[in-house]
């Protein structure tokens, strides 16, 4: 049930960093909202019981070794983002077991954790702190982070005046300045320009050499094909296919061509 | 979600807590010309108005203005911090849905920011004391104890409100109503002596009245009953412990409601 930090065995390249067993996540659907104490007191408990839940994820089992890159594909609403959030520790599993060796598992997605009213500089420190880095660490890495994002001249500008590409660059740069055990990327690189994407994939390669596991969610199947070691196709919250990239993508594409029918067993 | 104990997680994110608190304060001070002076406007204004209105009614209270401000400042901290804390998780939901941060950081930063504000506000007390001729020699040990109890009590109430308000979003408004009644049930602007016989038990069951007793003992030189400090420490930290445990027990369910 709990996300347990386990001790990492020594040998890089073979140690298991991420272990997901029979993961299930139940989330509240927005339709029945009984959210006031007044209604609760007036209508009683049975109406509160009417809050409806759906299985955002169920029966997911995946295991990832140090340095591995998992590409996650699937339709909108298939549970890809929820899956990343579970790995990041944001969403607690309702069922099953998730363990990640290592404390820091940043999730890079559009505008992640940024306060748009604050300047770029303030956000670097705040986002760094939210990743659990202490002030001195962030201060020491500040120039490196800003250089990588190519935003030297925009640090005193409020983030609300940034383009979405600038936000993505800064987010990725801060999240990857300290090699994390697990890096979760949710379509964040799609808005960067070609030059930045190139540098991102360079940095991802370097992180993987140091043992970072990368989970990449993307609708860009060619990107997944070229980068991923293994792939996971999520279909309506379940595993559509998992394993060798070519086979998984073929299964996903076959389903796309059938026009989104049931998955063959 | 359990990466170390909840206390250890809070410690690891202490920088985050301070940055969020500093941000809340800098927004409050930066956004107006008068800045910090505005936060003194309410307590000082209340003091002046009440002194004009009530100093004859409560003629028995020495240095009535000083009496009022030693009550209004801690009450202002308690009510503002707990109301803001009630909203803190929902306000942080864009962050809490995207970044792994222990959720306790958000109500804690709200309480911290307001507490810093209270400490700064206390610096005007010597001036008020001078202006009103009240005794200006506080007992610092007792003041520190009163502040610690006030912080613990407010922290506990804030954690309870923050957690419960996520599931029932009108809890905040219920609590505002309770605060209004609570304000008048507490000897903040009136002395205990004006309470009629049949209500004289009221301050005894009111935790905030006990904290005020310490506060005024320290600042105003009123008599503190033996045992009151111990009692205050006991219930303040009990409230904090209850709030802390309830918050962390409910934490697993937060995400679905953010």
Q: Residues with Cβ < 8 Å from A21, sequence gap 6 or more?
A: A61, A96, A97, A98
Mutation to test the A interface, candidates B6, B19, B251, most A Cβ within 10 Å: B19
- Separation between Cα atoms, residue A199 and residue A215, nearest integer Å: 18
Indicate the residue of B1, B16, B101 with minimum beta-carbon distance to A2: B1
A155: contact with B, CB 8 A cutoff: no
| Nearest Cα residue to A130 out of A81, A84, A88, A192 | A88
Asked whether the beta carbons of residue A129 and residue B256 sit closer than 8 angstroms, the reply is no
Indicate the residue of B95, B252, B256 with minimum beta-carbon distance to A27: B256
At A84, which helix (H) or strand (E)?
A: helix A80-88
The answer to whether the beta carbons of residues A231 and A217 sit under 8 Å apart is no
- Separation between Cα atoms, residue B161 and residue A80, nearest integer Å: 33
- Separation between Cα atoms, residue B252 and residue B258, nearest integer Å: 12
**Shortest alpha-carbon distance between residue B201 and chain A (Å):** 30
- Nearest chain B residue to A118 by CA: give it: B23
pLDDT in tens, A33-80: 556 777 777 776 665 556 678 899 999 999 999 999 999 999 998 999
Provide the 8-state DSSP code for A161: G
β pairing state of A213-217 and A69-73: parallel
Provide the 8-state DSSP code for A94: S
The answer to whether the beta carbons of residues A217 and A185 sit under 8 Å apart is yes
Q: Count CB atoms within 10 A of the CB of residue B140.
A: 9
A247: contact with B, CB 8 A cutoff: no
- Nearest chain B residue to A29 by CA: give it: B256
pLDDT in tens, B55-114: 777 777 778 888 888 999 999 999 999 999 999 999 998 889 888 899 999 999 999 999
Residues of B in contact with A113 (CB under 8 A): 95, 98-99
**Shortest alpha-carbon distance between residue B99 and chain A (Å):** 6
**Shortest alpha-carbon distance between residue A238 and chain B (Å):** 19
Asked whether the beta carbons of residue A35 and residue B169 sit closer than 8 angstroms, the reply is yes
The answer to whether the beta carbons of residues A211 and A18 sit under 8 Å apart is no
The answer to whether the beta carbons of residues A26 and A54 sit under 8 Å apart is yes
A89: contact with B, CB 8 A cutoff: yes
User: Which positions 30-69 of A are in contact with B (Cβ < 8 Å)?
Assistant: 35-38, 40, 53
**Shortest alpha-carbon distance between residue B11 and chain A (Å):** 10
pLDDT in tens, B4-29: 688 888 888 999 999 999 888 887 77
- Nearest chain B residue to A81 by CA: give it: B98
Report chain B's mean pLDDT, rounded to a whole number. Answer: 89
Q: pLDDT > 90: what percent of chain B?
A: 52
Asked whether the beta carbons of residue B2 and residue A38 sit closer than 8 angstroms, the reply is no
Tell me how long chain B is: 258
pLDDT at position A188? 67
Indicate the residue of B3, B96, B99 with minimum beta-carbon distance to A3: B3
Q: Residues with Cβ < 8 Å from B49, sequence gap 6 or more?
A: none
Coil/strand/helix, residue A232: strand
Phi, psi of B53 (to 5 degrees): -75, -45
pLDDT at position A253? 94
The ranges assigned to domains in chain B are: 6-257
Using a CB–CB cut-off of 8 Å, the residues of B that contact A are: 1-4, 12-13, 15-16, 19-20, 23, 27, 95-101, 167-171, 174, 252, 255-257
pLDDT in tens, B105-140: 999 999 999 999 999 889 888 888 888 877 656 789
A5: contact with B, CB 8 A cutoff: yes
CA-based torsion, A131, A135, A137, A142: positive or negative: positive
If DSSP states are collapsed to H, E and C, what string results for chain B?
CCCCCHHHHHHHCHHHHHHHHHHHHHHHHHCCCCCHHHHHHHHHHHHHHHHHHHCCCCCCCCCHHHHHHHHHHHHHHHHHHHHHHHHHHHHCHHHHCCCCCCCCHHHHHHHHHHHHHHHHHHCCHHHHHHHHCCCCCCCHHHHHHHHHHHHHHHHHHHHHHHHHHHHCCCHHHHHHHHHHHHHHHCCCCCCHHHCCHHHCCHHHHCHHHHHHHHHHHHHCCCCCCCCHHHHHHHHHHHHHHHHHHHHHHHHHHHHHHC
Coil/strand/helix, residue A5: coil
Asked whether the beta carbons of residue B23 and residue A91 sit closer than 8 angstroms, the reply is no
Provide the 8-state DSSP code for A160: G
Indicate the residue of A88, A113, A134 with minimum beta-carbon distance to B95: A113
Coil/strand/helix, residue A6: coil
| Nearest Cα residue to A177 out of A153, A155, A210 | A210
Residues of A in contact with B169 (CB under 8 A): 35-36
| Nearest Cα residue to A123 out of A151, A158, A149 | A158
Asked whether the beta carbons of residue A126 and residue B16 sit closer than 8 angstroms, the reply is yes
ipTM, interface predicted TM-score of the complex: 0.83
pLDDT in tens, B36-53: 777 778 888 888 888 888
Phi, psi of A171 (to 5 degrees): -60, -50
A141: contact with B, CB 8 A cutoff: no
Strand boundaries in chain A, DSSP class E: 3-4, 16-28, 53-65, 69-73, 95-100, 107-108, 182-186, 213-217, 230-235, 238-244
Residuewise pLDDT in 10s, chain A (265 residues): 344 444 344 444 468 889 999 999 998 876 555 567 777 777 766 655 566 788 999 999 999 999 999 999 999 989 999 999 999 999 999 999 999 887 677 888 766 678 888 899 999 999 999 988 889 999 999 999 999 999 999 999 999 999 988 888 899 999 999 989 999 998 766 777 888 888 888 999 999 999 999 999 999 899 899 999 999 999 999 999 999 999 999 999 999 988 755 554 4
pLDDT in tens, B136-162: 567 899 999 999 999 999 999 999 999
Coil/strand/helix, residue A71: strand
* Right CATH for A3-105+180-258 from 3.40.50.300, 3.20.20.10, 2.30.30.240, 3.40.50.1110: 3.40.50.300
In the block, tokens 């930066």 appear at: B30
A140: contact with B, CB 8 A cutoff: no
- Separation between Cα atoms, residue B5 and residue B2, nearest integer Å: 7
Average pLDDT of the residues in B219-247: 94
Asked whether the beta carbons of residue B168 and residue A40 sit closer than 8 angstroms, the reply is yes
Asked whether the beta carbons of residue A5 and residue B101 sit closer than 8 angstroms, the reply is no
- Separation between Cα atoms, residue B163 and residue B104, nearest integer Å: 9
Measured in Å, how far apart are chain A's first and last C-alpha atoms? 27
**Shortest alpha-carbon distance between residue A15 and chain B (Å):** 20
pLDDT at position B3? 52
Please state whether B14 falls in left (phi above 0), alpha (psi between -120 and 50) or beta.
Answer: alpha
């Amino acid at each position: 049930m709990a996300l347990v930090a386990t001790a990492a065995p020594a040998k890089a390249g073979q140690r298991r960093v991420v272990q997901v067993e029979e993961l299930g996540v139940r989330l509240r659907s927005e339709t029945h909202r009984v959210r006031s104490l007044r209604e609760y007191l007036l209508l009683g408990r049975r109406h509160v019981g009417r809050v409806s839940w759906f299985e955002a994820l169920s029966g997911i089992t995946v295991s990832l070794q140090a340095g591995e890159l998992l590409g996650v594909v699937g339709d909108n609403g298939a549970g890809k983002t929820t899956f990343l959030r579970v790995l990041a520790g944001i969403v607690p599993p309702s069922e099953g077991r998730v363990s990640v060796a290592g404390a820091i598992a940043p999730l890079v997605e559009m505008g992640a954790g940024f306060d748009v009213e604050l300047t770029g500089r303030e956000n670097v420190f705040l986002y760094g702190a939210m990743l659990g880095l202490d002030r001195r660490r962030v201060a020491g890495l500040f120039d490196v982070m800003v250089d990588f994002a190519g935003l030297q001249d925009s640090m005193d500008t409020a983030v609300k005046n940034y383009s979405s590409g600038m936000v993505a660059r800064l987010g990725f740069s801060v999240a990857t300045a300290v090699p994390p055990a697990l890096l979760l990327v949710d379509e964040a690189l799609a808005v960067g320009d070609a030059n930045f994407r190139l540098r991102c994939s360079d940095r991802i390669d370097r992180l993987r050499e140091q043992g970072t596991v990368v989970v990449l969610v993307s609708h860009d199947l060619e990107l997944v094909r070229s980068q991923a070691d293994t792939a996971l196709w999520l279909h309506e919250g379940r595993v559509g296919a998992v394993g060798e990239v070519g086979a998984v993508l073929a299964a996903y594409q076959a389903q796309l061509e059938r026009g989104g029918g049931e998955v063959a067993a | 979600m359990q990466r170390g104990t909840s206390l250890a997680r809070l410690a690891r994110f202490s920088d985050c807590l301070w940055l969020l608190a500093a941000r809340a304060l800098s927004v409050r001070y930066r956004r107006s010309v008068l800045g910090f002076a505005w936060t003194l406007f309410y307590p000082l204004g209340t003091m002046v108005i009440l002194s004009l209105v009530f100093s004859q009614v409560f003629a028995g209270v020495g240095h009535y203005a000083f009496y009022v401000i030693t009550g209004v400042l801690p009450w202002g901290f308690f009510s503002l911090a707990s109301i803001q804390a009630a909203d803190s998780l929902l306000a942080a939901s864009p962050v809490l849905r995207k970044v792994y941060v222990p959720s306790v950081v958000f109500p804690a930063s709200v309480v911290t920011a307001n507490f810093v504000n209270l400490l700064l506000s206390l610096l005007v007390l010597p001036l008020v004391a001078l202006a009103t001729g009240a005794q200006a020699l506080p007992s610092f040990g007792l003041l520190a104890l009163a502040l610690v109890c006030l912080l613990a009590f407010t922290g506990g109430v804030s954690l309870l409100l923050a957690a419960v308000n996520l599931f029932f979003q009108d809890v905040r408004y219920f609590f505002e109503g309770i605060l209004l009644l609570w304000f008048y049930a507490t000897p903040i602007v009136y002395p205990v002596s004006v309470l009629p016989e049949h209500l004289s038990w009221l301050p005894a069951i009111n935790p905030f009245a006990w904290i005020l007793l310490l506060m005024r003992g320290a600042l105003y030189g009123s008599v503190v009953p033996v045992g009151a400090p111990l009692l205050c420490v006991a219930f303040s930290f009990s409230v904090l412990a209850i709030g802390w445990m309830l918050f962390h027990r409910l934490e697993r369910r937060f995400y679905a409601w953010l």
